[in-house]
Amino acid sequence: MTALIVQTGASLVAVLFVAWLVGRIGLGADPRIEDEAHAIRLAEEAEAGFRAIEVGRDRAGFAAIVRNAEGRMMLLRAHGNFFAARPIDASVIGRLDKDFLTLTMPERTFGAVTLQLGKDAGMWASRMREIVRA
């Protein structure tokens, strides 16, 4: 009987330790792009020399499009507990549906990203067309 109590207690301590460790290292977190400043910082960290001037942030904060003064754009999205960034060029397929802009990257593992940009979705879609012409 005593061995069973000790074993149960040890198991409970182990489970609590693993739960604490998972929280401590951030597993299971729900990363969001907090605001425009956060999106700009992520883009500038992703590519040296990229100086962002404008952000189209998804309403939920899962993704953002960031543009620099030269007109180059970058897509940011949540990827696990972190963020991934990819340049937007003519190989990216954009589809506008009212307040939503879906971007499909040529890199299949990155997947398609749908941003709810509200009234700004059309403006960002238009900028995508300018990249295709360039």
3-class state of residue 70 by DSSP: coil
Fold of 36-133: PH-domain like (2.30.29)
User: Residue 85's beta-bridge partner residues?
Assistant: 76
Q: What is the pLDDT of residue 129?
A: 80
The pLDDT, as a whole number, for residue 18 is 72
pLDDT (tens place) for every residue of the chain, 134 residues total: 787 787 887 787 777 777 677 667 666 667 899 999 999 999 999 999 999 999 999 999 999 999 999 989 999 998 878 899 999 998 899 999 999 999 999 988 888 999 999 999 999 999 888 775 55
pTM for the predicted model, two decimal places: 0.75
User: What residue segments make up the domains of the chain, in order of their start?
Assistant: 1-30, 36-133
